[in-house]
Amino acid sequence: MNIPENLLYTEDHEWVRLENDMAYIGITDFAQSELGDIVYVEIETLGEKLKNHEVFGTVEAVKTVSDLFLPLAGEILEINPKLEASPELVNSDPYGEGWMIKIKVENLFDAEGLLRSESYASLIGLS
């Protein structure tokens, strides 16, 4: 199970990569493995300002549909354009080509409440 040390994590199995006041967000390797083959990613919140823990979209796998929760309050600036034609990128490269959204973070101090890689590993039973 891949849990990069340079990312932050949520208990809802999203990851966050901070770049100054911007953040890239996706679902973790653990989440995609639990969901199975992802067939569709629906995100219709482009341009919206959402609060922490609000639903920003859904991910559909063969057997289930799961909500995607925003780990940090902010404005949705970009949706990964590759996911429309290739949602399976979330399975094959969840931390790279399978990222989901880019946001402008409202308050960087909120990131202090996110999990580090070691804590996330404990959450999913790897340590």
Segment 61-70, tens digit of pLDDT: 998 999 999 9
- Under a CB-based contact definition with an 8 Å cutoff, are residues 111 and 16 in contact? yes
Q: Where are the domains of the chain?
A: 21-108
d(CA 88, CA 43): 15
Q: What is the pLDDT of residues 10-24, one digit of tens each?
A: 999 999 999 999 999
Q: What is the pLDDT of residues 97-119, one digit of tens each?
A: 999 999 999 999 999 999 999 99
> Predicted confidence band at 50 (pLDDT cuts at 50, 70, 90)?
very high
Q: What is the pLDDT of residues 68-78, one digit of tens each?
A: 999 999 999 99
In the prediction, which pLDDT does 1 show? 84
d(CA 107, CA 45): 19
What's the Cα-to-Cα distance from 23 to each of 34, 65, 105, rounded to whole Å? 24, 24, 7
Q: Residue 75, class by beta-carbon neighbours within 10 Å (0-12 exposed, 13-18 middle, 19+ buried)?
A: middle
> Predicted confidence band at 126 (pLDDT cuts at 50, 70, 90)?
confident
Domain 21-108 has CATH 2.40.50.100: yes
- For the chain, give the longest Cα–Cα distance: 39
d(CA 68, CA 76): 13
State the chain's mean pLDDT as an integer.
95
